[in-house]
Structures are given as structure tokens and as C-alpha cells.
Amino acid sequence: MFRTVLVPQTGQSTDGTALEAANALMRESNGHLSCVYVHDDAAAIASTMQTDAMGVPVVTPSLITALNEEANTQRSRAREVFGSFCKKNCISIAEQNPNSRALSASWKEVSADVVATIASKSGYHDAVVMARDGEFAVPSPYDIGSVVVASGRPVILTPGTWKPGSFERIAIAWKETSEAARAVAAALPLLKRAKDVLIFSVTEERAPDTAREMARNCSIYLKQHEIFSESRGLVADKEDVGAVLFSEVMAAGADLLVLGAYGHSRLREFVFGGFTREVLFDAPIPVLLMH
């Protein structure tokens, strides 16, 4: 089971959603939720953009003050949501879990680069839980993709409108790739406690037998871990893979989708496959992503 989960907080409307998703993941493990509020340092931002192309100052003391005030407002909002969540769920607040018989949570505030900080801290946790809040939110879907690439940990991403669930019916989007293999391995603690596991293998080659065989092979692997699953092969055109997979997953009533994130990073300029990008922006249910 996951014993410690990192839950970045942003002061956005989705903070509560991320906390509820983390609670659902950790409910049976009596582990620890590490909640961290991270915001970009206004002074650091100012140092990188002192003037515009004409040499005119674009960062003024009043702008830095406004940025810091906004950060303080968001911090207060995030801290209030965290406190209410812990109170409602009777979760003790402590730096580390003082009692392995009950779930605990901690709170930290960091003024630094958002993506780099989350990626760095994720290395000391079993997983990261985040909620999607729109293209222009902080962190944006692109930022979340950055965390997926850099963290080396599974990232559970929920839609902002997600309602608390149990993660008892889990779907796997399977391909014979290293990314998918890492995602399934990272999800084993969740798959072992799930009531139903469904494996969907999609081929773009008009070869349903190939898709079914790949799905069966994944099912055989899971059986070695005493995880029993149902496997299905699907065929879709390249541009329709996401739509076909989401349609099948939703029809099956899955409440979590496990998949590998395909892409690479270079100085934060990310090239993701079309389906991974679709997941980051529009996945209708929570997804566990692993690069």
C-alpha cells in the first residue's frame, strides 16, 4: 500500500478535490499525507524580467507587492481548506505519522519554483496526488505533465469536478512499452485491493487479435501477483484512440485509469503523444500516470 503521499496545494478550487482523492487512496493504509503549498517567488520572477524589449521596466515594486499579496491570499485559502479537511475526516496533524494505526497529515509552505519543488519533494513519497484546474491554472496541465516526467513517481490526477470515490474498479490502458509497464508496477498496491481490474489494449493496426493477446499477457502478469482481471482488445484509428478508450472505460464503470505517459522533456518544452496530452487536459475520471 502507499504509505506516504504528496498532495500539492494551490489555493485553487480543486485543493479539496486533491485531498479527498488522497484520502481515498490512503484510507486503508493509515499512512501520511504531506500537503505542501508552493508558489513562485515574486522576487525571483522579477529578476528574470526586469525590462521589456524597449528597455522599459516591466517589474515594479508595486507589482511585486501585488504578487505577494495574491500569494498570501491563496496560501490562506489553501490552509483553510486543509484544516477543514483534516477536521472533517478526524485526521491528526503532525510532521510525520506518529501512529501507524491512524491516517495523519502535515502542512508546509514553500516559496520557490512550483514544478521543480513538487518534482523534488515527490522523491520522498510513494505517489503524488493532484487535481486539474484548467489550462491557465497553477499548476497547469503542462506543469502537471512536467511533474509526471521529472518526479519518477506515479501521479494520480483527478478532474476538478471529481466526486469522492473508492478506486475499487480500476482500468489499465495497456501497451507493450516501458512507460505502461512502469505504470502497472506503480499501481500494484491499488490493483491488489481493487474489486475489479479491467485491461484495455488498443491497437491502431486493424489487428484485434494482437490487441487481445497483449491484454491477455498483461492479465497473466497480474495473476502472478494474485490479481485477477478481465482483458479486452480494442481497435481504433490513431486520432480516435483516446475517444475509443475513454468510451470503453466509462461504459465499464471504472473509477481509475492506469496508463503510461508517453513523451519527453527538454527545458520544460514538452512533446507528449496526442493521447497523453488528451489525458492531461480532459480525462473524465482520475488517472494514474507514470513516465
pLDDT, averaged per 10 consecutive residues of the chain (291 residues), comes to 92 92 86 90 59 59 76 90 95 76 90 90 95 78 88 92 88 93 96 95 82 94 96 84 90 95 56 74 92 87
Residue 266: count of CB within 10 angstroms of its CB: 7
* CA gap 96, 229 in Å, rounded: 36
Residues 39/111, Cβ–Cβ less than 8 Å: yes
Q: What's the pLDDT at 65?
A: 76
* CA gap 280, 117 in Å, rounded: 20
Three-class SS state of 178: helix
Burial 213-247 (b: 16+ CB within 10 A, else e): bbbbebbebbeeeebebebbbbbbeeeebbeebbe
Cell of 158: 483527478
Three-class SS state of 66: helix
Nearest to 185 by CA among 124, 268, 177: 177
Residue 33 DSSP code: E
Q: What's the pLDDT at 172?
A: 97
Q: What's the pLDDT at 42?
A: 60
Domains and CATH numbers, the chain: 4-158 (3.40.50.620), 169-290 (3.40.50.620)
Furthest-apart CA atoms within the chain: distance in Å: 66
Nearest to 122 by CA among 147, 140, 157, 87: 147
Cell of 93: 496533524
Q: State the pTM of this model.
A: 0.87
